Chains A and B, each alone.
Chain A
Amino acid sequence: MRPLAVLLLVLAALLAPAAARAGEQHPTLAELEGEVMCPTCHTTLDQSSSPVADRIRAFIRARIAAGDTKSGIERELVAQFGPAILAAPPHKGFGLLAWWLPIAGLLVGLAAVTAGVWQWSRSREPVAAEAAPGEAPLEPELERRVDEELARLDA
């Protein structure tokens, strides 16, 4: 089971760049429709039928037919409509926040949960070993008498 999982992971790692390269060299309209925004409706192209969305779709179709790469088409769209035409935020400036904030949030959350669990497990150990809070230990004489009574009951 375990070697199979490793094999699958290695295969996925090897195939992923090849698939990305294929997408870059031979993009499809469906793929780009999900990554390009309609500037007037603020949704991705695949959810819009506005005139400008239709026009952008026609442009993408023509560029794909002409053999343009995905990044080439995106570059041309950014030149005409600005960076907001791409659904994904840019990898620079303020846009970096959108990429890193969720990861930072996830790490902080993970750290908080780990710290909480560690704290909880530490606070549990003394409870098991010691008397419950609020309970004073028995006097030796009283303890002896309780033991005697219990032994008598068992007999």
Chain B
Amino acid sequence: MASSAKIAVQAIAVAAVVGLLALLVWKVTHQPGSGVEKALSEGKQPRAPLFTLKRIGQPGDLALASLRGKAVVVNFWASWCRPCKEELPVLEQTWQRYRNQGLVVVGVDAQDFTTDAKRFANRYGITYPIVHDAPGSTVDRYGVTGFPETFFVDRRGRLVGAHISGSILATGEIKAEFEASVRRALRS
């Protein structure tokens, strides 16, 4: 009786440890967005994670799926982020320059107050669509680790070109990479 109780307690303890270990492994292997980043770094063109988010400064939602057939620059930003402010005029210029060729710039504002984002967009004269990722789920699915971060989606809905982590104006090389990625998304 005593030994069977002991074995049962040991079995429960081992099962608990195995369960917690399995949970840890699952959490590590299912990090949101890690797949996107890995695929891009391997030169693959993964499907861009879809999102439908509430628009800022306009009524209704914007769905990435509704932009199929267009090239999309997805820029993650927040109003409190200094490098985001610096690159906004370049994103606006890019949108103005290529919109007739089928390019859309989408600003995904996250970890931010919508009132701040709206005021900020007005101050900088931003006319491209801005959406608010309140729950942070889109940020997670793209594997965004900081702001700003920019992705390029081709007309078939695949991520192409470089994924720029940080300001697109950080160096001349990154700026050139940004322009090349825009052209590549438009070409596809």
Let me know if A82 and B135 touch, CB within 8 A: yes
The answer to whether residues A80 and B114 also contact, given A115-B5, A115-B9 and a CB cut-off of 8 A, is yes
**16 A–B pairs (Cβ distance < 8 Å), ordered by A:** A39-B111, A52-B111, A52-B112, A55-B80, A55-B116, A59-B113, A80-B113, A80-B114, A81-B111, A82-B135, A82-B137, A108-B12, A115-B5, A119-B2, A119-B5, A123-B2
In the complex, how many residues of chain B place their beta carbon closer than 8 angstroms to a beta carbon of chain A? 17
Q: Describe B's contact surface by its main secondary structure.
A: loop
Q: Decide yes or no whether A131 CB sits under 8 A from chain B.
A: no
Residues of A that sit less than 8 Å from B by CB: 39-40, 51-52, 55, 59, 79-84, 108, 112, 115, 119, 123
Let me know if A55 and B5 touch, CB within 8 A: no
Let me know if B2 and A51 touch, CB within 8 A: no
Q: Decide yes or no whether B89 CB sits under 8 A from chain A.
A: no
Neighbouring A residues of B114 by C-beta, 8 Å: 80
Neighbouring A residues of B137 by C-beta, 8 Å: 82
Residues of B that sit less than 8 Å from A by CB: 2, 5, 9, 12, 78, 80-81, 111-114, 116, 134-137, 146
Let me know if A82 and B116 touch, CB within 8 A: no
Neighbouring A residues of B81 by C-beta, 8 Å: 51
CA distance in complex: A115, B2 (Å): 10
CA distance in complex: A108, B15 (Å): 13
CA distance in complex: A83, B135 (Å): 7
Q: Which residue of A lies closest to B8 (CB)?
A: A115
Q: Which residue of B lies closest to A115 (CB)?
A: B5
Q: Which residue of B lies closest to A112 (CB)?
A: B9
Beyond A52-B78, A59-B113, A82-B136, 5 additional contacts (C-beta under 8 Å) are A40-B111, A80-B112, A82-B134, A108-B12, A119-B5
